[in-house]
Protein backbone atom coordinates (compact mmCIF):
# COMPACT_ATOMS: atom_id res chain seq x y z
CA UNK A 1 0.00 0.00 0.00
CA UNK A 2 1.13 3.55 -0.72
CA UNK A 3 -0.20 7.00 0.11
CA UNK A 4 0.16 10.24 -1.84
CA UNK A 5 -0.81 13.85 -1.25
CA UNK A 6 -2.00 16.31 -3.86
CA UNK A 7 -2.47 20.05 -3.80
CA UNK A 8 -3.79 22.35 -6.46
CA UNK A 9 -4.98 25.92 -6.71
CA UNK A 10 -6.59 27.93 -9.48
CA UNK A 11 -7.42 31.61 -9.73
CA UNK A 12 -11.08 32.72 -9.80
CA UNK A 13 -12.26 35.11 -12.51
CA UNK A 14 -15.60 36.30 -13.92
CA UNK A 15 -16.58 34.76 -17.25
CA UNK A 16 -15.21 31.29 -16.50
CA UNK A 17 -17.00 28.07 -15.50
CA UNK A 18 -16.61 26.67 -12.01
CA UNK A 19 -16.10 22.90 -12.30
CA UNK A 20 -15.32 20.82 -9.22
CA UNK A 21 -15.18 17.05 -9.36
CA UNK A 22 -16.81 17.19 -12.78
CA UNK A 23 -19.78 19.18 -11.44
CA UNK A 24 -20.50 22.60 -12.90
CA UNK A 25 -21.36 24.83 -9.94
CA UNK A 26 -23.35 28.01 -10.48
CA UNK A 27 -21.13 30.94 -9.55
CA UNK A 28 -20.41 34.49 -10.75
CA UNK A 29 -16.74 33.46 -11.01
CA UNK A 30 -15.05 30.37 -12.34
CA UNK A 31 -11.56 28.94 -12.35
CA UNK A 32 -8.88 29.81 -14.90
CA UNK A 33 -6.86 26.97 -16.38
CA UNK A 34 -5.76 25.18 -19.54
CA UNK A 35 -8.20 22.28 -19.11
CA UNK A 36 -11.55 22.78 -17.38
CA UNK A 37 -9.53 23.99 -14.33
CA UNK A 38 -11.20 21.39 -12.07
CA UNK A 39 -9.00 22.01 -9.05
CA UNK A 40 -10.54 19.13 -7.08
CA UNK A 41 -9.85 16.53 -9.74
CA UNK A 42 -6.35 17.94 -10.32
CA UNK A 43 -5.46 17.54 -6.65
CA UNK A 44 -6.79 13.95 -6.70
CA UNK A 45 -4.72 13.23 -9.82
CA UNK A 46 -1.58 14.54 -8.13
CA UNK A 47 -2.27 12.49 -5.00
CA UNK A 48 -2.65 9.32 -7.07
CA UNK A 49 0.43 10.00 -9.18
CA UNK A 50 2.42 10.81 -6.05
CA UNK A 51 1.37 7.59 -4.36
CA UNK A 52 2.70 5.63 -7.34
CA UNK A 53 5.85 7.80 -7.68
CA UNK A 54 4.78 8.77 -11.21
CA UNK A 55 5.41 12.51 -11.08
CA UNK A 56 2.66 15.09 -11.27
CA UNK A 57 -0.20 16.25 -13.46
CA UNK A 58 2.00 18.68 -15.40
CA UNK A 59 4.30 15.89 -16.54
CA UNK A 60 1.45 13.72 -17.81
CA UNK A 61 -0.84 16.49 -19.13
CA UNK A 62 1.31 19.56 -19.85
CA UNK A 63 -0.44 22.92 -19.85
CA UNK A 64 -0.19 24.47 -23.27
CA UNK A 65 -0.55 21.11 -25.06
CA UNK A 66 -3.47 21.63 -27.49
CA UNK A 67 -4.90 18.14 -26.87
CA UNK A 68 -5.69 19.12 -23.28
CA UNK A 69 -7.27 22.54 -23.99
CA UNK A 70 -10.66 22.69 -22.23
CA UNK A 71 -10.65 18.89 -21.66
CA UNK A 72 -12.70 17.47 -18.81
CA UNK A 73 -10.39 16.67 -15.93
CA UNK A 74 -12.41 13.50 -15.38
CA UNK A 75 -10.99 12.28 -18.71
CA UNK A 76 -7.50 12.97 -17.35
CA UNK A 77 -8.37 11.15 -14.11
CA UNK A 78 -9.55 8.15 -16.12
CA UNK A 79 -6.19 8.11 -17.91
CA UNK A 80 -4.37 8.17 -14.56
CA UNK A 81 -6.50 5.27 -13.33
CA UNK A 82 -5.50 3.31 -16.45
CA UNK A 83 -1.83 4.17 -15.94
CA UNK A 84 -2.00 3.00 -12.33
CA UNK A 85 -3.60 -0.27 -13.46
CA UNK A 86 -0.83 -0.82 -16.01
CA UNK A 87 1.69 -0.43 -13.17
CA UNK A 88 -0.16 -2.93 -10.97
CA UNK A 89 -1.93 -0.44 -8.68
CA UNK A 90 -5.56 0.12 -7.80
CA UNK A 91 -7.14 3.02 -5.95
CA UNK A 92 -7.95 2.14 -2.35
CA UNK A 93 -9.50 5.46 -1.30
CA UNK A 94 -9.52 9.24 -1.78
CA UNK A 95 -10.01 12.04 0.75
CA UNK A 96 -10.10 15.67 -0.41
CA UNK A 97 -10.84 19.06 1.10
CA UNK A 98 -11.88 22.04 -1.02
CA UNK A 99 -10.96 25.42 0.49
CA UNK A 100 -13.23 28.22 -0.76
CA UNK A 101 -15.19 31.05 0.80
CA UNK A 102 -17.83 31.03 -1.95
CA UNK A 103 -19.93 29.49 -3.32
CA UNK A 104 -21.30 27.15 -0.69
CA UNK A 105 -20.66 23.63 -1.93
CA UNK A 106 -22.59 21.31 0.41
CA UNK A 107 -25.37 20.67 -2.13
CA UNK A 108 -22.82 19.51 -4.74
CA UNK A 109 -20.57 17.25 -2.65
CA UNK A 110 -22.46 14.00 -3.32
CA UNK A 111 -22.39 14.62 -7.08
CA UNK A 112 -18.64 15.31 -6.93
CA UNK A 113 -18.08 12.09 -4.98
CA UNK A 114 -20.19 10.14 -7.46
CA UNK A 115 -18.23 11.49 -10.45
CA UNK A 116 -14.87 10.67 -8.86
CA UNK A 117 -16.07 7.25 -7.71
CA UNK A 118 -17.46 6.35 -11.13
CA UNK A 119 -14.35 7.56 -12.96
CA UNK A 120 -12.02 5.64 -10.64
CA UNK A 121 -14.20 2.52 -10.60
CA UNK A 122 -14.38 2.43 -6.80
CA UNK A 123 -17.26 2.53 -4.34
CA UNK A 124 -18.76 5.82 -3.26
CA UNK A 125 -17.82 4.92 0.32
CA UNK A 126 -14.15 5.11 -0.71
CA UNK A 127 -14.34 8.73 -1.90
CA UNK A 128 -14.55 11.57 0.61
CA UNK A 129 -14.93 15.21 -0.44
CA UNK A 130 -15.30 17.98 2.11
CA UNK A 131 -15.57 21.76 1.81
CA UNK A 132 -14.10 24.30 4.19
CA UNK A 133 -13.39 28.00 4.31
CA UNK A 134 -10.17 29.71 5.34
CA UNK A 135 -12.03 32.13 7.63
CA UNK A 136 -11.44 34.99 5.15
CA UNK A 137 -7.67 34.60 5.43
CA UNK A 138 -5.27 34.47 2.49
CA UNK A 139 -6.06 34.27 -1.23
CA UNK A 140 -8.93 31.81 -0.71
CA UNK A 141 -10.38 34.00 2.02
CA UNK A 142 -10.29 37.02 -0.26
CA UNK A 143 -12.10 35.05 -2.99
CA UNK A 144 -9.14 35.15 -5.37
CA UNK A 145 -8.94 31.40 -5.86
CA UNK A 146 -9.85 27.93 -4.71
CA UNK A 147 -7.40 25.42 -3.23
CA UNK A 148 -7.76 21.68 -2.71
CA UNK A 149 -5.80 19.19 -0.62
CA UNK A 150 -6.19 15.51 -1.47
CA UNK A 151 -4.83 12.27 -0.07
CA UNK A 152 -4.97 9.00 -1.98
CA UNK A 153 -4.16 5.46 -0.99
CA UNK A 154 -3.31 2.87 -3.63
CA UNK A 155 -2.73 -0.84 -3.25
CA UNK A 156 -1.05 -3.51 -5.29
CA UNK A 157 -3.53 -5.43 -7.47
CA UNK A 158 -2.83 -8.67 -5.59
CA UNK A 159 -3.42 -7.14 -2.14
CA UNK A 160 -6.71 -8.63 -0.94
CA UNK A 161 -6.51 -7.03 2.51
CA UNK A 162 -8.12 -3.72 1.60
Q: What is the pTM of this model?
A: 0.94
Q: Residue 162: which pLDDT band, with cuts at 50, 70 and 90?
A: very low
Closest of 79, 87, 56, 77 to residue 154, by C-alpha: 87
The 10s digit of each residue's pLDDT in 3-46 is 999 999 999 999 999 999 999 999 999 999 999 999 999 999 99
Q: What is the mean pLDDT of the chain?
A: 94
The 10s digit of each residue's pLDDT in 54-82 is 999 999 999 899 999 989 999 999 999 99
Task: Specify the pLDDT at position 159.
Answer: 52
Provide φ and ψ at 46, rounded to 5°. Answer: -65, -35
Percentage of the chain exceeding pLDDT 70: 97
Domain ranges of the chain: 2-155
The 10s digit of each residue's pLDDT in 126-146 is 999 999 999 998 999 999 999
Task: Specify the pLDDT at position 43.
Answer: 98
CATH superfamily entry for domain 2-155? 2-C-methyl-D-erythritol 2,4-cyclodiphosphate synthase (3.30.1330.50)
In the predicted model, is pLDDT for residue 158 greater than 80? no
How are beta strands 89-99 and 29-31 bridged, if at all?
A: unpaired
Distance CA 152, CA 93 (A): 6
In the predicted model, is pLDDT for residue 157 greater than 90? no
Query: What are the angstrom distances between the C-alpha of 124 and each of 11, 14, 29, 77?
Result: 29, 32, 29, 16
Amino acid sequence: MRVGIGYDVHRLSPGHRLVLGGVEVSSPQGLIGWSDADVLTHAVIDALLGAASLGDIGIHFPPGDPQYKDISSLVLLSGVKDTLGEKGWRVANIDATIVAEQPRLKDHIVDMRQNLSRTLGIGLDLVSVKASTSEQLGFTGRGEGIAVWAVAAIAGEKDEGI
